[in-house]
Every structure is written in structure tokens, then in C-alpha cells.
Chains A and B, each alone.
Chain A
Amino acid sequence: MEEYNEVDIEIVESEKIATSEATEAADKPKLIKLPLTRIKHIMKMDPDCSLISQDALFLVTKSAEMFLEHLAKESVKFMGMGKRKTVQKRDVDAAIDNVPSLCFLDGALE
């Protein structure tokens, strides 16, 4: 007959908490997916840009990620219309031409 004394139960409980939290943490996505150094580098290419705070760098990185997703999603819409499964450059171009917030890219690409 197995006997569980109070101490054992406490240990098991605390282990459970630790494990579930660890699993939860492992499932959490990374906060930043793009390299900060490279982004800082791109920002510094602007001659008027001198110093960048850490907050600013983070915000630019995060917004770049959001922009990437946004641009991809808009491009997909144009791909869907052609009933293709591969996103092609012309889909991206179409998104640039049709989405107001993406207009700044018009003519900016070589």
C-alpha cells in the first residue's frame, strides 16, 4: 500500500507548478524575431539620425515585424484573386499600389 505523507504531496505540487510554468514559458513566442543590430544599422544609414534609445530601437524592430506581416497579408489577398498558391512579386506590387499605408513604397524600390 502506498502512503502519501504531507511532505511528498507538497513536493509534487511544487514540482507541478514549476513544470507547468516552464511549459507555459516554453510555448511563449520570442519577443523579438529580428536582429536588433542590423536594424540599428539600417536606421543609422540616415545621416540625420544620431542617437537611438533602447526603447526606440525595440519599437522600430517590433513595428518592422508587424509591417512584414501586414505586407505579406495584403499580398496574399491579391494572390487569392488569381487563385494561385505562391505569393509572387506582382502580388506585393499590387498591394503597394492599392493599400494607402503602403503607398510610400511606390517608386522606392529599384
Chain B
Amino acid sequence: MEKTDLSDDITHTFALTDQYMVQVEEMDDDTEQLTAENTDDSNHDPIDKIGTPLREQDRFLPIANVAKIMKKAIPETGKIAKDARECVQECVSEFISFITSEASDRCYMEKRKTINGEDILYAMSSLGFDNYVEPLKIYLLKYREAAKSDKNLQPSELSFEEASEETYNTTVTRNIIAAEPGGTETVIYTYQDSNIHQFQIN
């Protein structure tokens, strides 16, 4: 589903000759339909500070995603009991809250309102997840590259303290254009992330 969305964006972008059109699409998972705001909740549900009713399952990550990731970590022949899955599901939410709490404490102490990447990495380190920090930094660079090529604009929210000139250039050169010489038709192949797009010009 993601691929179709991306190709729609690209087609739209290329269809306009002079204008540089920007498609801003959330990196968020659009399949997340079950938000608190969309559901028809009864009045006695607990309401959080923004006034949207909270449901029990909203506190946790989807069990299917949890199970999939767990499966990667266990041997091929292994299985996971239902109560184990649910337990891990709760644990991950606890982990998220744990990290968030530590990061927001730091933010508060430094009189900042926005939790940024640095705060998260610092929290990881101080809570005994130091071994996560280096891989996370690499993932973050990849994420920024992907975000830049998808959005085609300078992401203002992203902090640039770690991004280098090199990273940006790598993104730009990733669009490989192969043009077929000769003939009345010119076909251009562009490669962007996981999609290959073919455009016919005249």
C-alpha cells in the first residue's frame, strides 16, 4: 500500500512541468485507524488531558506487530504462548514510558519543552541501554535520508547536529536516471527508495 502512495506522489510531482510541488506525507502508519478520536466510546471511559477517551488497548502496541518482531528473535521451530506475547506487549509499553519519563525529566531540568533525539539517546544510556545508542544513531541517519527523499523539502523539525553534507549528497545521487538514447521515445528510469518508476517523455 505504501508503494502505491509513493508512486502517486512521484507521478504528481513529475506531472507538473514548471511548479515544484511538494507532497507532505506523514511518516506515520496510515493503517492506524483505531485512534481514540475515531471510536464511539461511552462516557465512563477515562479521559486524558486532551479530552480524548483512552481505551485499554491504546496503551499497548498492536499484538500482531509485537508477535512478528518476537518471532524474529526466537529459533525457527519455536512458538510463543499467548500469555507470553501479552506480557511482552505490556513490557514494551513500560519501556517506552520509562524512556520517555527519563527524557522528559532531562528536558524539564534544562527548561526545554520539546523532547529531541539527544534526550532519548541520553535516556537510553543512563537507563542501561547504552548498547542501543550506536545502532540507533545509524538508524537515525537512514531515517533522515528517507525523510528527505520522500518529502523533497528541508525537514525543519529534524535537528541537524549529526547530519553531514555527505548524507544529503548521498540522497541526491540515489536517483539514478538511465535514458535510452535514440528513437522517438525516451524512457527514464528513476530509483527512489524501494520504488522503481518509469516515465515516458513524449
The interface of chain A, by Cβ under 8 A from chain B, is: 7, 10-11, 14-15, 17-19, 21-22, 25-26, 28, 31-39, 41-56, 58-60, 62-73, 75-76, 79, 85-89, 91-93, 96, 100-101, 104-105, 108-110
Contact = CB atoms under 8 A, between A and B. Distances in A.
21 contacts: A7-B182, A14-B179, A18-B189, A22-B195, A25-B194, A38-B32, A42-B96, A51-B115, A52-B114, A53-B116, A53-B157, A53-B159, A54-B157, A63-B129, A68-B92, A72-B74, A86-B81, A91-B84, A92-B87, A109-B87, A109-B91
Contacts of B181: 7, 10
A47 B83 CA distance: 29
Interface stretch (B8-16, B17-25, B119-127, B164-172): B119-127
Contacts of B29: 32, 35-38
B199 to A, nearest CB: 12
B165 to A, nearest CB: 19
B97 A42 contact: yes
Contacts of A45: 48, 54, 59, 97
B81 A60 contact: no
A53 B114 contact: yes
A86 B83 CA distance: 11
Contacts of B27: 32, 36, 54, 58
Contact of A21 (B35, B60, B128, B191): B191
Contact of B180 (A10, A55, A109): A10
A33 B96 contact: no
A36 B19 CA distance: 32
A53 B115 contact: yes
By secondary structure, the A interface counts as: helix
B73 A49 contact: no
Contact of A36 (B28, B100, B116, B135): B28
Contact of A104 (B83, B94, B105, B135): B94
Given A46-B104, A71-B91, A85-B78, A104 B61 contact: no
A35 B182 CA distance: 47
A33 B57 CA distance: 18
B113 A76 contact: no
A13 B82 CA distance: 51
